[in-house]
């Protein structure tokens, strides 16, 4: 019976966002030992999908016993508070040391983490795991495609496997691939890895995988695989992490054949570099967005559209509190608008104390203001209250619990606004449907999301009914607005003169 330890660490850091504290993990997923074991076998779990999928996949392949260590996940935000992260790492070390002999480690990892004093917090975790188990025990990791990959992560892990879809809907397949890789390593396959980081830090909205340069690069890499290659992973990176290790990264793992890994890695990197100028997209101005919403309010024959408030995406570290678009739509008298999910615990609590049907002056952001978070107030009615726990029904969050905390649906003129107590990206129509909203009836839908909404709302809005709005916020695709400090400069597209040369292996 193989014994496999399971460790999870999910944090996507936007270095311009407020520090992520223990409370941020407690609100989403902070489980250890037996708590992980219990969630591992549930149908709808709070665990990241790849953790449960890995366990089910290995069930099919091997007689094995999970040794659950700890799984930590928060909504994307600022760097994790160092003291909390150090405490968590110490607990992981203690549990690994107490686990007895292990045959493998599965690290379920986002990979775009950072701590307030550790710019490679993911690498620190990998090094800790390797230090405890020694060189002979396989470490297999799955990562988000927005991961920022360090040399140390590559050195410490045997195999690293990233998603190939954005919106991310292939966690299950990648976890199954990780389970198969683990079995191959047990059978004696020796992984040989080649790794190239390109000086390209694109805005996330250019990293879709249905079409565009990143989609083409991933397809190229997969089609170029042969039986010598165990895995091809092409990481898009998460530019807002603002780290020295940022950049599109190609990682090829071969079965014992280093030359094969290097040759394919180089071919992919050269294509990626040659096509760097394709990582650009145009946004829709707030004025144009408001004019469109007004026109649809007055003319029912114009098809509905969805607006992505990409600059204030909680899934990229945005506050979920920016009111620029809401305020403009409200001022213009747009109707038939469904908008959310705003993060405002005080407003949600007030709605709950007033009750459904109450009318009041809704004050957004009464307890917090900064560059992107401004106060906004308007007469409102409480349409619906909800405890905020809902299971996703489509795309990225299908079958997973989304814990919004106490939530409400408010009516402000012709606009319905969903408000939650926890900060979550808007992934799924279920986040409006829990309030009784019929998304198909809306003339305009506004979502706090960069891209994952595409996999949830595509039944209502195909790609040609989507507008990405140029509002202010911590996740704006207009990278020149941000005071980056740690990115490896020069870097494309911020610096037109960025240079790259193939490595001298």
* Binding stretches for Zn ion (CB under 5 A): 144, 146
C-beta separation of 118 from 124 below 8 A: yes
- 153 or 383: CB nearest Zn ion: 153
CB of 308 to Zn ion, least distance (A): 15
Q: Which is nearer to Zn ion, 324 or 449 (CB)?
A: 449
DSSP 299-310: -TTSPPEEEE-G
- CB-based burial label for 415 (10 Å; 0-12, 13-18, 19+): buried
Least Å distance between CB 112 and Zn ion?
8
Q: Output the smallest distance, CB 293 to Zn ion, in A.
A: 29
Query: Looking at beta carbons, which residue is closest to Zn ion?
Result: 146
2: closest CA among 104, 86, 155? Answer: 104
Q: Is 35 helix (H, G, I), strand (E, B) or coil?
A: helix
Mark out the alpha helices in 62-207 (DSSP H runs).
82-98, 121-133, 151-156, 171-186
In the bound complex, what is the minimum distance in angstroms from residue 7's beta carbon to Zn ion? 19
Query: Quick one: 8 or 104, whose CB is closer to Zn ion?
Result: 8
Closest approach of Cβ 145 to Zn ion, in Å? 6
Nearer to Zn ion (CB atom), residue 146 or residue 448: 146
Q: In what order do the strands lie in the sheet containing 2-10?
A: 29-32, 64-73, 2-10, 104-109, 139-143, 159-162
Residue 215 host element (H or E): helix 213-223
Tokens of 435: 């309030």
What tokens appear for 21 in the block? Answer: 């504290």
For Zn ion, the closer CB: 31 or 112:
112
> CA-CA distance, 466 to 385, in Å (whole number)?
29
Q: Write down the least CB distance from residue 388 to Zn ion, Å.
A: 23
Residue closer to Zn ion (CB basis): 144 or 158: 144
- 253 vs 396, which CB is nearer to Zn ion? 396
Cβ at position 275, least distance to Zn ion in Å: 21
């Amino acid at each position: 019976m193989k014994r496999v330890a399971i460790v999870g660490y999910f944090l996507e850091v936007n270095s311009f966002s407020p520090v992520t504290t223990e409370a941020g993990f407690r609100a989403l997923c902070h489980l250890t030992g037996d708590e992980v074991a219990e969630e591992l076998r549930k149908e709808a779990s709070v665990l990241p999908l790849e953790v449960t999928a890995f366990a089910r996949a290995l069930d099919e392949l091997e007689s094995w016993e999970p040794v659950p260590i700890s799984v930590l996940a928060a909504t994307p935000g600022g760097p994790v508070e160092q003291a909390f992260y150090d405490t968590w790492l110490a607990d992981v070390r203690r549990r690994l040391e107490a686990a007895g002999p292990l045959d493998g480690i599965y690290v379920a990892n986002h990979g775009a983490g950072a701590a307030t004093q550790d710019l490679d917090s993911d690498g620190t975790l990998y090094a800790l795991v390797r230090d405890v188990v020694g060189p002979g025990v396989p470490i297999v990791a799955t990562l988000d495609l927005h991961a920022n990959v360090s040399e140390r992560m590559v050195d410490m892990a045997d195999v690293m496997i990233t998603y190939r879809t954005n919106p991310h809907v292939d966690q299950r397949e990648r976890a199954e691939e990780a389970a198969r890789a683990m079995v191959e390593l047990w059978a004696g396959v020796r992984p040989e890895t080649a790794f190239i980081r390109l000086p390209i830090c694109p805005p996330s909205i250019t990293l879709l995988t249905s079409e565009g340069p990143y989609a083409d690069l991933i397809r190229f890499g997969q089609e170029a695989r042969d039986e010598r290659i165990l895995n091809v992973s092409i990481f898009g990176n998460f530019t807002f992490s603002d780290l020295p290790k940022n950049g599109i990264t190609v990682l090829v793992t071969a079965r014992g054949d280093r030359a094969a890994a290097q040759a394919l890695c180089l071919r992919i990197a050269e294509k990626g570099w040659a096509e760097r100028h394709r990582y650009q997209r145009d946004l829709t101005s707030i004025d144009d967005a408001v004019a469109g919403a007004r026109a649809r309010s007055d003319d029912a024959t114009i098809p509905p559209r969805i607006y992505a408030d990409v600059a204030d995406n909680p899934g990229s570290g945005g506050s979920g509190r920016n009111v620029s678009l809401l305020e403009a739509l409200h001022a213009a008298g747009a109707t038939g608008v469904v908008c959310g999910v705003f993060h405002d615990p005080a407003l949600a609590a007030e709605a709950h104390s007033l009750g459904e049907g109450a009318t009041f002056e809704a004050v957004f952001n009464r307890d917090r203001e900064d560059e992107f978070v401004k106060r906004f107030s308007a007469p409102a009615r409480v349409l619906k209250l909800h405890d905020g726990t809902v299971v996703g029904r489509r795309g990225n969050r299908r079958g997973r619990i989304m814990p919004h905390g106490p939530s409400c649906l408010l009516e402000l003129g012709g606009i319905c606004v969903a408000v939650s107590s926890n900060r979550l990206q808007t992934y799924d129509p279920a986040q409006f449907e829990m309030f009784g909203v019929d998304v198909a009836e809306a003339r305009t839908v506004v979502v706090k999301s960069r891209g994952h909404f595409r996999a949830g709302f595509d039944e209502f809005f195909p790609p040609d009914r989507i507008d990405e709005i140029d509002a202010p916020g911590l996740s704006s695709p207009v990278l020149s607005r941000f005071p980056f400090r740690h990115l490896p400069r020069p870097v494309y597209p911020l610096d037109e003169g960025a240079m790259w040369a193939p490595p001298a292996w």
